[in-house]
Structure 1
Amino acid sequence: VVGCADPQGCRRACGAPAGCSNVAYPRLVLTLLPPGLRGLMLAVVLAALMSSLASIFASAGALFTLDIYQRLRPSAGPRHLLIAGRLWVLAMVGLSLAWLPVVEAARGGQLFDYIQAIASYLAPPVAAVFFLAVFVPRVNEPGAFWGLLGGLGLGLARLVPEVALGTGTCGAPGRCPPLVCGLHYLHFAALLFLATAVIVVAVSLCYPPIPRQHLHRLVFSLRHSREPRVDLDQSKDEVQLQDVEAGPAGQGAEPGAERGVAEPPAPPPEPPVWSRVVDANALILMAVAFFLWGYFA
């Protein structure tokens, strides 16, 4: 059933001519597991699904309510915002249900390929910005902003034609031009990551860098710094006011208070043994992930 060899056999087995990989996991659960474990596995799958959907819809409702609706209606009270968030979640649920036919038609109905393709078009810009923010102290806010916009635009330039025209299958090629959809989505994700990184660095170089006093223990090169960190959003007036309240240095003021520091003392450094263990595990996991990515792509 799962390894059907031709479109006719696949259509008879699962109703999808491109393949029956979507039914592999349900077949394993329903045919190999005994009744007790079968019910437990069903409960696990439903719990994971509900948890993922709840977090996604809650985040979407909060982003819409606080970042968009509250700006349009500044006088809205908590109850008003709560109702607006719930209505937005209902709209998102309706949009998700309306999107199901697109999921069934995309990539011949292969759900796993569709999920990975969507992630490859939308996730690399976010990953690139986070990576550069940690490892490149020269990156600043304008670079991150335009990098996200540019990366999202490039990802949508691939996603929209693919959804609208279809990539097709081996037996029935889609209408999407090979120049746009011919590159494998995993290879496109790698190129999108690099393109976003170039945009972030190029735009960041056109603007002043973030002062070093705001970056202690926030970037990799300053991870062991013991200097106090000043909040980037703290205004100069607040810093001067804290300077006056702290008094002259050495008269009972805490170290760093004269600089307007709004953070607790830095935690003690991690033991070197466990730090090396974590680093080794991270390298192993990244090596395995890169191998699987390159091999199956």
Structure 2
Amino acid sequence: MDGSWLVIVVLIGVSVAWIPVLQGANSGQLFIYMQSVTSSLAPPVTAVFILGVFWQRANEQGAFWGLMVGLAVGATRLVLEFLHPALPCGAVDTRPAVLGSIHYLHFAIALFALSGAVVVAGSLLTPPPPGAQIQNLTWWTLGRDLPPGAKTAGSRKQAFWARVCGLNAILLMCVNIFFYAYFA
């Protein structure tokens, strides 16, 4: 028998111990707590992913520093939220300005922009990735620059459907951004 049962028991213990933290955070509203945590940790990953797919010049160093800076800033806000929980309605807000005056969803947009800027700066300050390394990995290199004789009707068909799926993904992303902007 392996030690996986021990990991499960430890995780259950951590989950039970985390309940008072959840009840104290955001007035016990689990949905707001989950959204707040996600808005502090997801934007750097999203920025790196989008730039990696749509920008051929993005490289490993830019992605690394974009993630490090973004996750450090997001984790700092997350720690501040734990140290300074939300106050009840009508109470004077004495929390730091980054918590009191910037909503967590607006913070997510700023964190996304900051992470993207760091990825772009880091990528431009270091050598670009070799063409062979990004072949068929970015939007612009999909099904392009195949070796002579390898470009068959099947690979063109795959590239066509990959672009159709990519366009559908972009359409869905635009719909999500619209809903986010409309309902935020």
* Range class of TM-score, shorter chain: 0.7 to 0.9
Aligned to 1:18: none
Amino acid of the residue matched to residue 79 of structure 2? Answer: V
1:205–1:191 Cα change, 3 Å: same
1:212-261 C-alpha deviation (Å, 9 max, x unpaired): 12211111111121425xxxxxxxxxxxxxxxxxxxxxxxxxx79xxxxx
1:141-170 C-alpha deviation (Å, 9 max, x unpaired): 111111111101110121111111112232
1:273–1:87 Cα change, 3 Å: closer
SS at match of 2:158: coil
SS at match of 1:209: coil
SS at match of 1:290: helix
SS at match of 1:270: helix
Q: Choose from 96, 100, 103 the match for 1:177.
A: 96
Amino acid of the residue matched to residue 191 of structure 1? Answer: A
Residue 282 (1) aligns with residue 169 (2): yes
What are the residue-to-residue correspondences of 1:160-171 with 2, within 5 Å? 160-171=79-90
Larger Rg computed on CA atoms: 1
Residue 153 (1) aligns with residue 153 (2): no
* Structure 2: distance between partners of 1:292 and 1:158: 25
Aligned to 1:269: 157
RCO greater where, 1 or 2, for CA within 8 Å and sep 6 or more? 2
Amino acid of the residue matched to residue 269 of structure 1? Answer: K
What are the residue-to-residue correspondences of 1:219-230 with 2, within 5 Å? 219-227=138-146
| Count of residues in Structure 1 that have an aligned counterpart in Structure 2 | 181
Aligned to 1:95: 14
Residue 294 (1) aligns with residue 181 (2): yes
Which segment is superposed worse, 285-294 or 187-196? Answer: 285-294
1:247-276 C-alpha deviation (Å, 9 max, x unpaired): xxxxxxxx79xxxxxxxxx84533858954
* Contact 1:121/1:189 (<8 A) preserved: yes
Amino acid of the residue matched to residue 294 of structure 1? Answer: A
Aligned to 1:215: 134
* Structure 2: distance between partners of 1:90 and 1:148: 31
1:126–1:100 Cα change, 3 Å: same
Q: TM-score, normalised by structure 2?
A: 0.83
1:205–1:271 Cα change, 3 Å: closer
Aligned to 1:53: none
* Contact 1:140/1:210 (<8 A) preserved: yes
Aligned to 1:8: none
1:175–1:131 Cα change, 3 Å: same
1:94–1:270 Cα change, 3 Å: same
Aligned to 1:195: 114
RMSD, aligned α-carbons: 2.8
What are the residue-to-residue correspondences of 1:78-93 with 2, within 5 Å? 82-83=2-3, 86-93=5-12
1:6-32 C-alpha deviation (Å, 9 max, x unpaired): xxxxxxxxxxxxxxxxxxxxxxxxxxx
* Structure 2: distance between partners of 1:271 and 1:220: 10
* Structure 2: distance between partners of 1:159 and 1:224: 42
